[in-house]
């Protein structure tokens, strides 16, 4: 399946001038025109799926993180087959959540008036209790690896099972790096806000992660640079082969 066509992936982010993708600067009044430009740019790409890692998904989609030990033991022993609860949804929220730690209250999320069906990306090591919970909620899930994530396989399944042709990756930094290192990003779209944060513990655009391949720098080719309202800059890069 990995040789089948996968979706085109755009990593689209907003960062401070010093590369932070979270921090107090997001709440400053000067960010208002940046947010407006961000909404317009996201719409231009026409992506039907947004992909986030566990931490980001817990903050903006789910109700935080779940303690798997609090789930009742499942009477079902589920075969590790993919589960497409809604293969014809207009939009998808794809959570890269290898251990199934996200706490969900339903099978859709709403952001800026758009409703998206939730897809969990898991490894086969998750418990049957988690799979039972996801099925009870009507949440789709796919398996992408036994214990470590196989991102190319994940993308191929998103295309084959849900018809996703264009997907937008929006963080966090560890997930962004994992996709970049695995050759799973086609384009980087970065809005640089005219602000500096300086936070030592803040996530950056790309942060190395445990399930990424060995460290190898990635070369990029500039596709375009454009100034935006509010003195922000929009940079677009392609990943060099």
Q: For the chain, what are the domain ranges? A: 8-239
CA gyration radius, the chain: 18
Give how far the C-alpha of residue 65 lies from the chain's centroid of Cα atoms, to the nearest Å.
16
Closest by CA position to 99, among listed 121, 71, 80: 121
Closest CA to 18 of 239, 194, 209: 194
For domain 8-239, the question of CATH label 3.40.430.10 is answered with: yes
Model confidence, pTM: 0.94
- Rounded alpha-carbon distances, angstroms, from residue 241 to 6, 78, 176, 205: 16, 39, 18, 21
Contact 172, 21 (CB under 8 A): yes
Q: What is the pLDDT along the chain (241 residues), one digit of tens a residue?
A: 555 789 999 999 999 999 999 988 888 888 999 999 999 999 999 999 999 999 999 999 999 999 877 888 888 899 999 999 999 999 999 999 999 999 999 999 999 889 999 999 999 999 999 999 999 999 999 999 999 999 999 999 999 999 999 999 999 999 999 999 999 999 999 999 999 988 888 899 999 866 555 678 899 999 999 999 999 999 999 999 8
Residue 114's CB: how many other CB atoms inside 10 A? 11
């Amino acid at each position: 399946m990995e040789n089948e066509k996968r979706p085109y992936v755009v990593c689209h982010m907003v960062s401070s001038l010093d590369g932070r993708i979270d921090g107090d600067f997001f709440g400053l009044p000067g960010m208002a025109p940046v947010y407006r430009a961000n909404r317009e740019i996201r719409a231009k790409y026409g992506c039907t799926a947004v992909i986030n890692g566990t931490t980001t998904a817990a903050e903006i989609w789910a109700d935080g993180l779940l303690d798997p030990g609090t789930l009742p033991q499942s009477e079902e022993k589920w075969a590790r087959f993919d589960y497409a609860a809604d293969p014809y949804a207009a939009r998808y929220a794809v959570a890269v959540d290898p251990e199934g730690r996200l706490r969900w209250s339903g099978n859709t999320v709403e952001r800026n008036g758009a409703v998206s069906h939730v897809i969990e990306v898991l490894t086969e090591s998750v418990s049957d209790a988690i799979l039972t919970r996801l099925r009870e909620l009507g949440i789709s899930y796919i398996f992408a690896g036994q214990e470590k994530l196989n991102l190319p396989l994940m993308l191929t399944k998103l295309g084959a099972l849900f018809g996703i042709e264009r997907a937008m990756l929006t963080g966090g930094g560890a997930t962004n790096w994992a996709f970049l290192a695995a050759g799973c990003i086609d384009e980087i779209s970065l809005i640089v806000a005219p602000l500096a944060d300086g936070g030592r513990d803040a996530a950056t655009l790309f942060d190395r992660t445990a399930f990424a391949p060995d460290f190898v720098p990635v070369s990029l080719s500039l596709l375009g640079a454009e100034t935006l309202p509010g003195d922000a800059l929009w940079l677009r890069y392609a990943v060099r082969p």
